[in-house]
Amino acid sequence: MEIIKGSDEIIFQKAANLVSRIFASVKNPVIAVCGGRIIQPLAMALRKSGYFFPQATLYLTDERITNFSDALSNEYTIKTQLIEPLENEGIIRDWKLISPRINGNIEEISCPSKINLAILSSGEDGHFASIFPDMNNDFKSDRYIRIINSPKPPPERISMTSETLMKSENILLFFTSESKRNAWNLFKNQETKKTDLPVKVFLSHLHCTVLTDLE
């Protein structure tokens, strides 16, 4: 595991450089990507990188069971803040987003058998995707799982499991903004349990890069 610390501009530029390496080594990479506040600065860093990013297949790490146009929808965030603006500027081409939303319904579709890169962000409570503290973090499934009791709204979600994401060849894990300081401190604490801080599972991943603007 590698830890990269710095300002937002620095860590997102480092992330863009790492993404470019994946594209240089893999044709049509499979990328699992979260939603949330990291998407807009990531898109900006990809825009500033000077690289061109051809064909890729994206999967949502999780989705909230809500209307597509709702700001809570990860699919809506990825399409409107990442794919569409970068396509319009000619920075990416032929990025396909595989969504668990089928005919307006959220389905427990199969996860990709191989993920070249997972882009994740820790929540304030140390959750990733829609796997929250005190949940069973040892789900065994090659499909998205349904969450019916999320402590954050909306309560119903669908999510990749830690088992699926741990099989990713590379992981980018973000801890950004002061609101993530407690999660970051717990992540560094050897005594913290995975049930209390789900993102701690990625400590054992050999190719996980942690990016943070926190000390």
Give dist(CA 215, CA 114) in Å, integer: 33
Cis peptide before 154 (omega within 30 of 0): yes
> Per-residue pLDDT for the chain (215 aa), expressed as one digit of tens each?
999 999 999 999 999 999 999 999 999 999 999 999 999 999 999 999 999 999 999 999 999 887 766 777 899 999 999 999 999 999 999 999 998 877 677 888 899 999 999 999 999 999 999 999 988 666 677 899 999 889 988 899 999 999 999 999 999 999 999 999 999 999 999 999 999 999 999 999 999 999 999 98
Domains and CATH numbers, the chain: 2-212 (3.40.50.1360)
SS3 66: coil
The pair phi, psi for residue 195, each rounded to 5°, is -70, -30
This prediction's pTM: 0.94
DSSP letter at 83 equals I
